[in-house]
């Protein structure tokens, strides 16, 4: 992996979220929902939601990793039964459909576990007719984000915006075909992995996800707005 000068990297996901919020300020004042892709997208989305005075919720997506190379996405699944495959990766690694189906079945179990763990009994925030920002800590292949966009479309939002602090140029361009707008703060030519562009890329825990969701709900309630 190429070495990146520390000055070119974000300190952590919170700093990345602030940088993304600056690029999304034109959405302030709209009927806006920021949906985070857990887990790493939650600290990023939290900062965006706070800066834009927006509702914050999660949207569950699970990457379908290539057998033996779990970080390489053969596709992804999302809430609502959505499945997106990366045909180039499927062909390059000759992954059989039965293997993909089995990976998807196992990831569906984890998706449902996270849904219960993070929501703590709360219903999903309504998306119908609203502007939705889908936020993550970065884009590598874009498979997970594409699944999220396709899934969110089922809820009839007014507009779907993809927002990330950093991503590969190919992934950002590819998502322009499915999202209404793609905001990628940095799309470096030497992108190799999302973690490469953070000084602190430690794992976001389930506890942190729950805490940030609760905190944002409490802030909205105190301000008189919906969660």
What local confidence, expressed as pLDDT, does residue 226 receive?
60
What local confidence, expressed as pLDDT, does residue 21 receive?
98
> Nearest 5 degrees, angle CA 143-CA 72-CA 166?
60
Give start and end residues of each alpha helix (H) in the chain.
13-23, 41-52, 87-93, 97-119, 143-153, 169-175, 206-222
Average pLDDT of adjacent 10-residue blocks, the chain of 227 residues: 65 98 96 96 98 96 89 85 88 93 94 92 94 97 90 95 97 96 96 95 96 95 70
> If 0-12 CB within 10 Å is exposed, 13-18 middle and 19+ buried, where does residue 81 land?
exposed
Domains and CATH numbers, the chain: 6-60+119-222 (3.40.50.2020)
Report the helix count and the strand count for the chain, using DSSP H and E. Answer: 7, 8
Cα–Cα distance measured from residue 57 to residue 49, given in angstroms and rounded to the nearest whole number: 9
Asked whether the whole model's pTM tops 0.75, one would answer: yes
Cα–Cα distance measured from residue 124 to residue 80, given in angstroms and rounded to the nearest whole number: 12
Going by C-alpha positions, the residue among 71, 184, 173, 107 that lies closest to residue 138 is: 184
Going by C-alpha positions, the residue among 5, 37, 67, 9 that lies closest to residue 142 is: 37
Q: Could you tell me if 137 and 164 are in contact, meaning their C-beta atoms sit under 8 angstroms apart?
A: yes
Cα–Cα distance measured from residue 189 to residue 68, given in angstroms and rounded to the nearest whole number: 27
Looking up tokens 């990146």 gives 4
What local confidence, expressed as pLDDT, does residue 72 receive?
82
């Amino acid at each position: 992996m190429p070495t990146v000068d520390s000055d070119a990297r974000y300190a952590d996901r919170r700093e990345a979220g602030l940088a993304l919020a600056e690029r999304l300020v034109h959405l302030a004042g709209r009927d806006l929902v920021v949906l985070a892709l857990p887990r790493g997208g939650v600290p990023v989305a939290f900062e965006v939601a706070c800066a834009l005075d927006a509702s914050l919720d999660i949207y569950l997506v699970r990457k379908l990793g290539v057998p033996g190379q779990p970080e390489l996405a053969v596709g992804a699944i999302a809430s609502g039964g959505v499945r997106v495959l990366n045909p180039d990766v499927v062909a390059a690694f000759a992954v059989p459909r039965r293997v993909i189906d089995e990976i998807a079945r196992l990831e569906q179990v984890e998706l449902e576990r996270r849904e219960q763990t993070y929501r703590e009994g709360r219903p999903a925030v309504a998306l119908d007719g609203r502007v939705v920002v889908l936020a993550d800590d970065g884009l590598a292949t874009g498979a997970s984000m594409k699944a999220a966009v396709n899934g969110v479309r089922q809820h009839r939002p007014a507009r779907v915006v993809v927002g990330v602090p950093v991503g590969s140029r190919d992934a950002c361009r590819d998502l322009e075909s499915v999202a209404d707008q793609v905001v990628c703060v940095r799309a470096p030519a030497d992108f190799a992995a999302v973690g490469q562009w953070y000084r602190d890329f430690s794992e976001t825990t389930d506890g942190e996800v729950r805490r940030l969701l609760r905190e944002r709900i409490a802030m909205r309630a105190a301000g008189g707005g919906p969660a």
